[in-house]
């Protein structure tokens, strides 16, 4: 769906990145162009007009599916019940629409992981992280759908930063590094300023909020963290909690109100609060290095 930039561009980006990486057959469906109830929120100032920073990939040859993202989600999970891990790395509008159409979806996925939210402070406001702030009503539907949401939010993602050492490693990934990863990071804001106290980083519930990641180390790779958790859950420290999404607050709309002390029967989420950054980068870069495009010279 629309998020960092508008829907036509995000759809084209998905197709272009898949073709560039060597996976042209992966189906892509356009999602909702707008949130459920609010005007669209974008992140041009962070990710540039294209949504890919300074990366310039060829226009995609493929076209998106004729069906929308909600249909694709429901059809794919319906065809393989309890076998698919659903991962959301943007606003939760499409997931909410799918849950509205088919409430039993919550019992049909193997696992549901999101990149979004924060147990502490936000990054678009003092209270809210971008993906949740972009459509709080959708997020409230999703967190209340009856499944366990694994929330990989700013508490963990701001600890996974692209340091100068990591940039050197990315430069060794052939065209993947030189044409996509490094250009997409150029000019990308480190975005830790408003999220400098993003929850119990490095520890569990009950600790006082502290810095979410060392300042000045470079930008965080938020979305990658959700996929890394699916691939290797042991990289992250996660804690069960009750998460409610604030939709009405004047200053707190989009806040993921996180109660680590909720009774077990009330907990609806598993919240990532820390990540082993060194192992994270070994895992991620190791996976990227296996792509054919990473072995192609610039």
Neighbours of 260 (CB within 10 A): 20
| Catalytic-labelled residue, pool 222, 239, 272, 277 | 222
**Using CA atoms, how far apart are residues 214 and 212, in angstroms rounded to an integer?**
7
Could you read off the pLDDT tens digit of each residue along the chain, which spans 298 residues? Answer: 556 777 888 899 999 999 999 999 999 999 999 999 988 776 656 666 667 888 899 999 999 999 999 999 999 999 999 999 999 999 999 999 999 999 999 999 999 999 999 999 999 999 999 999 999 999 999 999 999 999 999 999 999 999 999 999 999 999 999 999 999 998 676 544 333 333 343 444 443 333 334 444 789 999 999 999 999 999 999 999 999 999 999 999 999 999 999 999 999 999 999 999 999 999 999 999 999 899 876 5
Q: Is 222 part of the annotated catalytic residue set?
A: yes
pTM greater than the 0.85 cutoff: yes
For the chain, the structural domain boundaries read 69-295
Specify whether the backbone of 6 is left (phi greater than 0), alpha (psi in -120 to 50) or beta.
beta
Neighbours of 288 (CB within 10 A): 20
CATH code: domain 69-295 is 3.90.245.10
């Amino acid at each position: 769906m629309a998020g960092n930039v508008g829907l036509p561009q995000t759809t084209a980006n998905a197709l272009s990145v898949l073709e560039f990486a060597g996976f042209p057959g992966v189906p892509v469906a356009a999602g909702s162009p707008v949130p459920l109830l609010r005007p669209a929120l974008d992140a041009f100032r962070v990710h540039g007009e294209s949504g890919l920073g300074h990366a310039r990939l060829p226009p995609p040859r493929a076209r998106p599916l004729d069906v929308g993202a909600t249909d694709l989600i429901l059809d794919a999970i319906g065809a393989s019940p309890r076998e698919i891990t659903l991962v959301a790395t943007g606003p939760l509008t499409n997931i909410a629409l799918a849950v509205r159409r088919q409430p039993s979806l919550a019992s049909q996925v193997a696992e549901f992981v999101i990149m979004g939210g924060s147990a502490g402070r936000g990054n678009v406001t003092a209270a809210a992280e971008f993906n949740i702030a972009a459509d709080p009503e959708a997020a409230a539907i999703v967190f209340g759908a009856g499944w366990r949401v694994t929330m990989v939010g700013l508490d963990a993602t701001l600890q996974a930063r692209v340091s100068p050492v990591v940039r050197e490693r990315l430069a060794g990934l052939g065209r993947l590094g030189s044409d996509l990863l490094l250009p997409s990071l150029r000019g990308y804001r480190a975005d830790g300023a408003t999220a400098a106290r993003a929850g119990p980083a490095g520890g569990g519930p009950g600790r006082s909020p502290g810095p979410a990641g060392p300042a000045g180390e470079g930008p965080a790779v938020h979305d990658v963290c959700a996929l890394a958790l699916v691939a290797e859950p042991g990289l992250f420290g996660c804690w069960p909690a009750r998460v409610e999404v604030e939709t009405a607050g004047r200053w707190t709309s989009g806040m993921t109100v996180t109660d680590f002390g909720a009774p077990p029967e009330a907990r609806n989420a598993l919240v990532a609060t820390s990540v082993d950054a060194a192992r994270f980068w070994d895992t991620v870069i190791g996976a990227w290095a296996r792509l054919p495009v990473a072995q192609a010279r610039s």
